[in-house]
Every structure is written in structure tokens, then in C-alpha cells.
Amino acid sequence: MANFVWDVGMNSTNKSEVRTAWTLLLPAIVIFALIAFYPLVSVFYYSLTDKKFASDKPTEFIGLDNYSMMLSMEFYEIPPQKDDAGKVKLDENGDTLYEDPIDILPMDPVAYWEMYTFNIFGKRYTLAATDPEFLISIKDTVIFSVLAVALELIIGMAFALTLNSHFKGRGVMRMALLVPWAIPTVVSTKMWAWMFSSQGYGLFNTVAYYLGLSDHQIAFLVTPDWQLPIMVVIDVWKTMPFMALMLLAGLQTIPSDYYEAASIDGASKVRQFFNITLPLLKPAIVVALVFRMLDSLRVFDLFQVLFGSKFFSMSSYTYYKLIEGKEMGYSSACSVVIFIAILIFSLFFIRVLGREQINGK
């Protein structure tokens, strides 16, 4: 709601009011221009060049080459291996032997690298890309974000509902909720990395030992199948409290007479949750989801601290291209792609949110 002040008899001061307003805003505008607007424009510009740091080669304008390098993908059919007589080779099980994709994929003018290989209709295909690492980082970041935010919502909701009931020691519980939130991500990641140690003395390996679950050590951080789930676990621990606090704040605005009336009418707790709590909590849920999703898609600390350049998020890939590769042009192009992706996501959610508010009235 716009709340205009100085409505009464203030026309004489209007001019000076406007001048004061812009004077007060000036420092903030200058700072935003300096750290947001200018760098963003320069990133868009550099993304069209092949600029490299610490290189003697003069920077050239290369148009959209960086983007096609980043995003090019193509399917290739992988032919079976044939012997000298032209017959398809089979292995001992009678399955067809195929050529190695690396021998089939084109190397010139740009090299394509294998991303996924699969069989369909008796033929083998490879999905190849010019920069598979970036595309895989997009896929991993999206999977990570969706899993983490969904789990956060479920666990955060369970926590908020529990904390919303009457009990002694609410202050203690609220403080506990702030513990993961306040801890720096670098620190929480190191703490969990230590608990997930692949050695027998790691906490989770010790727990597994006591439960008799494994007679051998689980190499949590080294086994590829464990890596993404572990990051989700760490992220949920760190950021779920924010979700729980948002939902708790929303829950506390629901008048208790709604529930009293519903119980008198004989509605079960479950029905009360779906018919009263959930609809009334929807605005808070949507806001929390948007904030967390935007945050999660730009994840950096967790990936970089835990896996360095062995497992990329979109942001950590961009970082390594810039710092280790010194490829200013290319990493700028990655930044632009991330920026546009998050922009589209934001616009989409603002629209949904806007419609939500119009319908709500």
C-alpha cells in the first residue's frame, strides 16, 4: 500500500521535498551504479569477446561464439564395431560391441565431448556437447535446488507446526533454530565434511558401525552417488531454519478461533491442516519458496568448499573459469546465462505472486 505523507497543505514544500529525496537517494544510486549496473554491463560486453587475463593476445570481438561454445549440444549415432569382413562384432554375451564415442565425435572446428550415451531401438546414440561441464553444472544445480528446497519446505513445515504448539521452552527452540542459520556456510560445510569423513572414524561411519549397517567404511564424499545427496543434506540443515521461521511467522497470524470452530464441527487435525492452515499459509510459503529457490540456484560456497573443481555448480564453474582459467570473456558469458536464467525465474514468480495477490483480494 502506497502511503503518501505530507498530504495536507504541503504544496509549498513540494519542490524542496523532491530535491531532498533525490539528495538522500544519491549515495545509494551511485553505489548501485558502481557495483551492480556498471559491472553487469561490462559482463555483457566481455561475454562477446575472447578476453583472457595474463595473456599477450589482443582481445577480439567474437560475437556469440562464447555462447555457442557453452550451449552447443548434438546427438550422434555410434556405429557398431565391425571386423575386416564387415560383420558386426559381438561380445561373449552376444551383445553388440560399439565404437568408442570419442573416435566418432567431431574434433574440428570445435571438439564435441560425450555427455550421455544410451541405446534406443537397437541403436546407440551419444549426446555430445562442446562444453559438457557447464551443461552438467546447470543440470546438477537445478536438481540440487529442487531437491533441497522441496525437502526444506517439508521439514521446515513439520518444524514450524511443532514449534507452533504450546510448550515450555519456546525461546530455547527458537535460539536453536538460529544456530545453523548464523554459522557461516564455509564453517558448516567443513563441519559436515568432517562428519561425513570416509574414514572409519567419521561420525556417520561410526553410526553405521554401531547400527551394524556396514562392515566396511562408506566413502561418502568420494562416491559419486553420495555427493549430491550429501550436499542436499548439508544445505537443508543450514537453510531449513529460515524456511521454518518464515512459516512459523505465517502460522502465528492465523487466528486460533478458526481451529476452535473447526474442532467443534468435528474436523480432524489433518483436515484442519489442509482446509485452514495450508490455504492461509500459502502467501508465506510462496515468498519463502521464491527466496530460497533464488538463493539455491546461485549456490557457490557449499560446492566449492566440498568438492572444488570436481563437482560444479553454475556459480563455481564460472568462478573456476575466471580464476583458474583466467578466461574473462568465457566466464562472463556463463554469468550472463545464469543472470538470464534467474531473471526468467524471478519474473515468472513475480507474475505468479502478483496473480496470487489479485485473486486473494
Range 285-304, binding other proteins (CB under 8 A)? 287-288, 291, 294, 297-298, 300-301, 304
The interface with other proteins within residues 170-199 (CB under 8 A) comprises 171-188, 190-192, 194-195, 197, 199
Residue 33 half-sphere exposure, CB side, CA atoms within 13 Å? Answer: 6
Size of the site for other proteins (CB under 8 A): 107
What the block records as the C-alpha cell of 164 is 507452533
Considering beta carbons, is residue 5 or 107 the nearer one to other proteins? 5
Min CB(196)–other proteins separation in Å: 11
Examine residue 20 and tell whether it contacts other proteins (CB under 8 A): yes
Q: C-alpha distances in angstroms, 285 versus 6, 94, 143, 159, 258?
A: 36, 55, 20, 14, 19
Which one, of 242, 271, 239, 245, lies nearest residue 258 by Cα? 271
Considering beta carbons, is residue 128 or 333 the nearer one to other proteins? 333
Which one, of 275, 272, 251, lies nearest residue 263 by Cα? 272
Min CB(115)–other proteins separation in Å: 23
Which one, of 95, 99, 87, 89, lies nearest residue 126 by Cα? 99
353, 290 Cβ separation under 8 angstroms: yes
The interface with other proteins within residues 79-108 (CB under 8 A) comprises none
Min CB(278)–other proteins separation in Å: 15
Q: Binding other proteins by CB under 8 A: which of 112, 134, 312, 319? A: 319
Examine residue 352 and tell whether it contacts other proteins (CB under 8 A): no
Considering beta carbons, is residue 6 or 75 the nearer one to other proteins? 6
Which one, of 339, 139, 321, lies nearest residue 228 by Cα? 139
Q: Binding other proteins by CB under 8 A: which of 40, 102, 261, 352? A: 40
